[in-house]
């Protein structure tokens, strides 16, 4: 190729950032570009497995792997550092390990918890945003159940879950598997345990048809979960949630409180770009930030339009990885001086697990539930690892064995 070596800088090693880098290292030779990946941790974590860590059905180490395991160090420089500023007009990124220049920038800085201004939520509830926060939620639950033997306080064996979206339901599915084991360990009668899920919206899991939602709800209710749907949480405190029922405020009590109802893009986006809403910036069809033909935004920090629905696609691991592959291809095209291609999302479907043996899903337009859905979830989780890290990593970290 007859062009000068460009500096490609990728920020973030979640699904979007790491997939971009692993694709670029296949598409480009060492002579084509200098590729640098910056991520604050030395490992990648499977964000879609955090609910399992929080429920204690997997150890946190099972859902992470070293970034150096999947990058070609002959082609990619990995810098473990936190990004502190993006200076788009100077084409520079500031980090805790110094300043980096770029010709092409890929911003894939991931998500943060969003509490929508609910008073006390950030202080009193655990969120599932990384392995540390998920592990903290798990340790809190275990501590409280262990404490129950002395306290005999029902609060200690009560768990409040904020949100009946995808993460909330998957977390509940894991809880109803792990909590009976925890009860057995501490000699607690499981029928005394109180697991309550509070959801402000009138229905849960809006991405699924009603019959599948009913299946999930019945599955969880049969295993002791209480649902308060159409019930806004107005505050969180040391005793639990304050909710509004028929215009009246009501205190729900629990020692373990977990918030799953909201994520937003990285707050550095708000500081670095104009027109950012909840950490997400609208990108064009080629996934570029408006006014900058060398800055791509993908994953949780990007709003990618679904033109048929006139709203952005939801931010999922599936779309993040497709955005990443497309970005890598477009970078290759730009280095060749060729026209960039517009992104087109291939929605293969969605599966929501209910623990390790059950679930619901819409796959290629077909409804699935039960063990078939659970199997499909394992396929999806293992495929994500295979796409980034290849067969060896899929064997060691995937869920098919």
Q: Which of 184, 186, 197 is nearest to 256 (CA)?
A: 197
How distant, in Å, are the alpha carbons of 35, 171, 382, 389, 392 from that of 398? Answer: 27, 19, 4, 10, 10
The strands making up 256-259's β-sheet, listed across from edge to edge, are 126-127, 256-259, 158-162, 194-199, 225-229
Q: Give yes or no: 170 in active site.
A: yes
SS3 letters across 266-313:
CCHHHHHCCCCECCEEEECCCCEECCCCCEEECHHHEECEECCCCEEC
Contacts 24+ apart (CB under 8 A), 165-169: 165/199, 165/204, 165/205, 165/260, 165/261, 166/205, 166/207, 166/350, 166/352, 167/50, 167/51, 167/128, 167/260, 168/197, 168/199, 168/204, 168/260, 168/261, 169/204, 169/205, 169/216, 169/220, 169/352, 169/354
Write down the catalytic residue from 46, 114, 140, 170: 170
- Active-site annotation, residues: 170
């Amino acid at each position: 190729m007859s062009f000068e070596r460009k500096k490609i800088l990728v920020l973030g090693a979640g699904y979007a950032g790491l997939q971009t880098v692993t694709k670029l290292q296949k598409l480009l030779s060492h002579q084509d570009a200098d590729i640098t990946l910056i991520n604050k941790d030395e490992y990648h974590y499977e964000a879609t497995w955090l609910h399992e860590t929080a429920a204690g059905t997997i150890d946190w180490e099972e859902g992470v792997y070293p970034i150096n395991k999947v990058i070609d160090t002959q082609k990619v420089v990995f810098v473990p550092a936190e990004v502190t500023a993006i200076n788009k007009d100077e084409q520079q990124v500031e980090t805790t390990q110094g300043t980096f220049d770029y010709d092409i920038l890929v911003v894939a800085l991931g998500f943060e918890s969003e509490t929508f201004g609910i008073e006390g939520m950030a202080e009193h509830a655990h969120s599932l945003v990384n392995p540390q926060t998920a592990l903290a939620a798990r340790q809190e639950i275990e501590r409280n159940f262990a404490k129950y033997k002395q306290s005999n306080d029902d609060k200690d064996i009560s768990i409040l879950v904020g949100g009946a979206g995808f993460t909330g339901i998957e977390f509940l599915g894991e809880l109803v598997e792990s909590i009976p084991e925890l009860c057995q360990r501490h000699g607690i009668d499981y029928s005394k345990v109180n697991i309550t899920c509070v959801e402000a919206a009138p229905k849960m899991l809006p991405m699924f048809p009603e019959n599948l939602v009913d299946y999930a709800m019945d599955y969880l209710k049969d295993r002791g979960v209480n649902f308060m749907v159409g019930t806004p949480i107005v505050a969180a405190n040391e005793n639990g949630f304050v909710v509004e029922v028929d215009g009246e405020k009501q205190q729900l009590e629990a020692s373990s409180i977990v918030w799953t109802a909201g994520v937003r893009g990285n707050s550095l986006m708000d500081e670095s770009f104009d027109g950012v809403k909840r950490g997400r910036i609208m990108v064009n069809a080629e996934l570029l930030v408006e006014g900058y033909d060398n800055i791509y935004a993908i994953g949780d920090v990007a709003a990618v339009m679904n033109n048929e629905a006139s709203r952005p696609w939801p931010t999922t691991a599936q779309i993040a990885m497709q955005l990443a592959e497309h970005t890598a291809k477009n970078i290759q095209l730009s280095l060749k001086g060729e026209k960039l291609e517009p992104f087109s999302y291939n929605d293969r479907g969605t599966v929501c697990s209910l623990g390790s043996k059950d679930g619901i899903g819409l796959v290629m337009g077909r409804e699935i539930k039960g063990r078939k859905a659970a199997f499909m979830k394992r396929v999806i989780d293992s495929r994500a690892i295979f796409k980034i890290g290849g067969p060896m990593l899929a064997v060691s970290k995937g869920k098919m064995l």
